[in-house]
Amino acid sequence: MWIGLAFLWLPVVLLIAYAFSADRLPFRWGGFSLRWFTALWANERLVEAAWLSLRVAAGAATLAVLLGGCIGWAMARGGPSRGRAILGALAGAPLVLPEVVTGLSLLLAFVALENAVGWPAGRGALTVLLAHATLGAAYVAVVVQARLATSDRDVEDAAADLGATPWVAFRTVTLPLMAPSLVAGWLLALTMSLDDVVLASFTSGPAGTTLPVALFSMLRLGMTPEVNALAAVLLVLAGAALGLAGWVLRKRG
């Protein structure tokens, strides 16, 4: 276990350490310096791409929860039918298809829509958001379905027996049962959107360059230690988010 953890985390630790190197080469130590954090803040392209990635990821995760939550509920509570089986197969297709196939199909769909109705007008942040939401909804649906499949349906039936309408029973009983899976699905979709390169490469344009796509394009010209500084900032933000979540859970407990 320790060998596996060292294999995973040692490169990350080295990456963060080299963020404080004064040398221009990303993986050579040249003395302690904060110059690359200053350069990162002045790099408008990377900063803008980072903010765009956060906005796209948050929007895609929210849309994925709305769509995937409905799909997961329908598959768990819809009852046996041919339509339910077809819905499950279509919803789970993005999980098994290569992202290259999914990205190309979404690109063709956006081009066909633009030619037919004039929307979306070109590729940008909106098309990337829709692409990421499409993929994220499949994961959310699986998580929600698994949650509802293991929950006690007698509680929902009891609410109906006591006179609750279907909407009231869903809002007061089913939705709280789904809440942990919705939060987990939102975080999963957010992480996948922040990490995606393939779908964004197919569906983005000059005005919709996300951070992974910007970093991938920098590989052609050569990385600079600004990338190391960016990795350090992202790691600190992720650690702070995890710490805050742990503190909230302890307070609730």
**Residue 68: predicted pLDDT:** 94
Task: Please say if the pLDDT value at position 131 is more than 90.
Answer: yes
Query: pTM of the full predicted structure?
Result: 0.85
Read off the pLDDT of residues 31-71 as tens digits, 9 standing for 90 and up: 888 888 898 888 888 889 989 999 999 999 999 999 999 99
CATH 1.10.645.10 is the classification of domain 45-222: no
Task: Name the range with the highest mean pLDDT among 100-114, 203-217, 236-250.
Answer: 100-114
**Residue 251: predicted pLDDT:** 66
Task: Please say if the pLDDT value at position 202 is more than 60.
Answer: yes
Domain borders along the chain are 45-222
**Residue 23: predicted pLDDT:** 85
Distances (CA, A) of 111 to 60, 133, 204, 205: 20, 18, 12, 13
